A and B are shown apart, each in its own frame.
Chain A
Amino acid sequence: MIRIERAHILVGIDQGSILAGARDVQKKLEEEIKKRGLETEIRVLETGSLGITGRGVVLLVYPEGVYYVNVKVEDVPEIVEEHLLKGRFVKRLMLEPQLAEILAKGEFPKKLSKQKRVVLQNAGVINPDSIEEYIAVGGYEALAKALESSPEWVINEIDNSGLRGRGGAGFPTGKKWKFTAEVKAPQKFIICNADEGEPGTFKDRLILEGDPHKVLEGMAIAGYAVGANKGYLYIRGEYDLSIRRISKAIEDAYKMGLLGDNVLDSGFSFHVEIKKGAGAYVCGEETALIESIEGKRGNPRPKPPYYPGIKGLWGYPTVVNNVETLANVPPIILNGASWFKSMGTKESPGTKVYTILGHVKEPGLIEVEMGTTLREVIFEFGKGMRNNREFKAALIGGAAGAFLGKEALDIPLSYEGLREYGGVLGSGAILVLDDSTSITDMLQNVISFFKHESCGKCVPCRVGITKLLERMEKGTLLEKDLKEMIEISEKMADTALCALGQSLILPVSSAVRFFKEELTA
């Protein structure tokens, strides 16, 4: 006999909500439900982040789809008694109390949000610790489909989809795979870059916490496509919950024969190992990351001549992809390249996951189609500026990103849309600043961050950053200081060994472009 439940309560468990007491709330929920004899009708389960941050413990109750926020242990009896037993909503804790009226009539609300979820489709819906639930929503079907086709077909499909790297640089993923697939080598590697160190970015963490199997499936497909049978997941050491969930996911996938030797009885083998990073920003750079996996100091390698795709980990061809990139792979394989291209813009198909933070009313994690404007992100998804202050600037893409002023509110957020403004999508962090913020201070802060994180191996980066910081610290900036600063960062962009030194041009030049008057004031 199947078990029919009439409600599922999802507890959003991520590092933030654990600090707010999510575990205690979960325990109390289970106790209260048992006390009232509802345990056969109602299931409590944990999931990844529900996409709402800064609101303490968040619960999502199905089938109504009601969100409760800032839930404390002492609120639990009321929720169980009122909502679960009597079917009355606890309005004071609801995220959208206006929903209560619609729901009370027995109607299902239309999805209120305009988000387009591909990468985060399962995050906050399934239990990330359950491989069965992932399989139930179509998990590992893309891998099966890939294994039934050929590696060439897989690469073509990814290439045709126009998927570009979601870690920041936006390199076409299909091309990257093709380079490595064409190299003849006794051993190849896949690396999933989960060393998410960009200030203000936490999308990879929430993807891994919410849907770890999707990333593993993406890695296995990448391995099959390029001919690699070993993958490393290089993850920030601080991402404790992600590490635990992904470890469990790997273990379960091995048990089911979805990873390991002879995957799905196809003859293809793929092994995955986790490597923990030790907190260096530069180790998010792919060659420094490779050095770190090899057990060396995390210094970037000069390139050219050898790109990781040709000569990477231990000298073997290696594909390094970001978490979000890999999480895009299974849906593309499953639904086809043209489906993927139907979303987003021509040059940047698909969706993008952003973390919105700073002076907005509702900071959090969203996934929207490429080409969504900054205005929509801030005023629709972020619910507007906090305290009704004026929008001043947004720092897009983390510290290695660009400041955009009011003029840029209506540009579509995509690789090509931002290029015109000297910006990059980067890691997808959108830091919104209101008119109480000093851009001079912000810029100084960004440069200080780079000073702290520069590995110091190459001269342009080491000396350049020091020079820039000296200018900032001397007090009043003159027009000629700004000119010099741009010159220095341009030199760094041309000559620094890796993306760390190369990208300081973005915040510096954009700040000068949009906020020159303020900087020289």
Chain B
Amino acid sequence: MKIEELRKLREKVREDLKLREGIEPRVKIIVSMGTSGIAAGAREVLKALLDEVAKRELKDVIVLQTGEKGLASAEPIVEVVTKEATITYGRVTPEIARKIVIEHVINGRVLSEYVI
């Protein structure tokens, strides 16, 4: 291996460790995963979010989960946290989740019809 090859390899494998670096990502997507959230389909929403984030290779986004929000009727709840604001979406389906990633996370347009 040459020195340049070492450096190239480093760039490639860096992504793997991002999660453990403890740096604040640009966007945090938090899925509420209490009992009612899961019952309402939060798992599917979470999977869709992860899939969409991976497909679009969004490197500054992190998908997290949290417990019950206390708004059982609006589950599944997804929060998008950026430095500027925290937007809470309710009754999210996997399709809406994908839209959130594309519209809100990438293009910065809040999907007001799903905000609660």
Chain A interface (Cβ within 8 Å of chain B)? 1-8, 10, 40-41, 62-65, 85-88, 104, 106, 108, 111, 125-126, 132-133, 135-138, 140-141, 144, 147-148, 256-258, 264-266
A104 touches B66 (CB 8 A): yes
Question: Please, how many residues of chain B have a CB less than 8 angstroms from a CB on the other chain?
Answer: 40
Interface centre among B3, B30, B35 (most CB of A within 10 A): B3
B65 touches A6 (CB 8 A): yes
A135 touches B6 (CB 8 A): yes
Q: Mark B23-43, 1 if CB is under 8 A from A, else 0.
A: 010001011111100100001
B55 touches A136 (CB 8 A): no
Assembly CA distance A256 to B10 (angstroms): 13
Assembly CA distance A148 to B22 (angstroms): 32
B2 touches A264 (CB 8 A): yes
**Other than the known A6-B50, A6-B63, A104-B66, what 8 A-B pairs have Cβ atoms closer than 8 Å?**
A2-B57, A65-B22, A86-B65, A126-B17, A132-B16, A135-B6, A141-B10, A264-B6
Chain B interface (Cβ within 8 Å of chain A)? 1-3, 6-7, 9-10, 13-17, 19-20, 22, 24, 28, 30-35, 38, 43, 46-47, 50, 53-55, 57, 62-67, 79, 81
Residue of B nearest to A110 (CB): B22
Residue of B nearest to A87 (CB): B65
Using Cβ atoms and an 8 Å threshold, which residues of chain A touch B43?
85
Query: Which single member of B28, B54, B79 contacts A2 (CB below 8 Å)?
Result: B54
Assembly CA distance A140 to B6 (angstroms): 8
Do most interface residues of chain A lie in helix, strand or loop, or is the interface mixed?
Answer: loop
Assembly CA distance A2 to B30 (angstroms): 20
Residue of B nearest to A147 (CB): B3
| Given known A-B contacts A65-B22, A136-B16, A6 and B62 have beta carbons under 8 A apart | yes
B1 touches A257 (CB 8 A): yes
Assembly CA distance A5 to B14 (angstroms): 14
| Given known A-B contacts A6-B50, A8-B20, A104 and B67 have beta carbons under 8 A apart | yes
B17 touches A136 (CB 8 A): yes
Query: Which single member of A1, A86, A126 contacts B34 (CB below 8 Å)?
Result: A86
Query: Which single member of A1, A132, A144 contacts B3 (CB below 8 Å)?
Result: A144
Q: What's the minimum C-beta distance from A379 to chain B, rounded to whole angstroms? A: 26
A265 touches B1 (CB 8 A): yes
Q: What's the minimum C-beta distance from A196 to chain B, rounded to whole angstroms? A: 28
Query: Which single member of A3, A108, A138 contacts B22 (CB below 8 Å)?
Result: A108
Assembly CA distance A40 to B51 (angstroms): 10
Interface centre among A64, A136, A138 (most CB of B within 10 A): A136
